[in-house]
Amino acid sequence: MQSLQLVQLSADVFTVCLQHALATEREEIMGLLIGEVDDESTVVSIAASLILRRSDKKPDRVEISEEQLVSATIFAEDLAYKTGKPLRVVGWYHSHPHITVWPSHVDLDTQAMYQQMDSSFVGLIFAVFLTEQSTKAHEVQVTCFQSVETSSSRSRIEIPLVIVQPQNALLSTCFETLIQLPKIFDEEENETFSKETGGIEGDFLTEQHNEAVRTIALGHIAEKMTRPMMEVLAERNQYSKTRLQMLRNYHKFLMGKLEECGLLL
Which CB, 62 or 174, lies closer to Zn ion? 62
Determine the residue with CB nearest Zn ion.
107
| 135 SS3 class | coil
Which residues of this protein are in contact with Zn ion, per CB under 5 A?
A: 104, 107
Q: Which amino acid is at 242?
A: T
Which CB, 95 or 167, lies closer to Zn ion? 95
Which CB, 104 or 210, lies closer to Zn ion? 104
Shortest spacing between CB 62 and Zn ion, in angstroms: 6
Cα gap 116→243, rounded to integer Å: 45
Shortest spacing between CB 27 and Zn ion, in angstroms: 11
Which CB, 14 or 126, lies closer to Zn ion? 126
Is the distance from CB of 71 to CB of 33 less than 8 angstroms? no
Shortest spacing between CB 167 and Zn ion, in angstroms: 28
Instruction: Note every long-range contact of 130-137, with CB atoms under 8 Å and residues 24 or more positions apart, other chains counting.
Output: 130/98
Count other C-beta atoms under 10 Å from residue 5's C-beta. Answer: 13
What Cα–Cα distance (Å) separates residue 175 from each residue in 20, 33, 162, 170? 12, 15, 21, 9
Shortest spacing between CB 126 and Zn ion, in angstroms: 10
Helices (H), the chain: 11-21, 66-83, 105-117, 171-197, 204-221, 227-260
Which CB, 36 or 107, lies closer to Zn ion? 107
Shortest spacing between CB 231 and Zn ion, in angstroms: 30
Which CB, 104 or 119, lies closer to Zn ion? 104
Shortest spacing between CB 146 and Zn ion, in angstroms: 14
How is the beta sheet containing 138-149 ordered, strand by strand?
154-158, 138-149, 122-131, 88-97, 30-37, 43-52, 6-10, 161-164
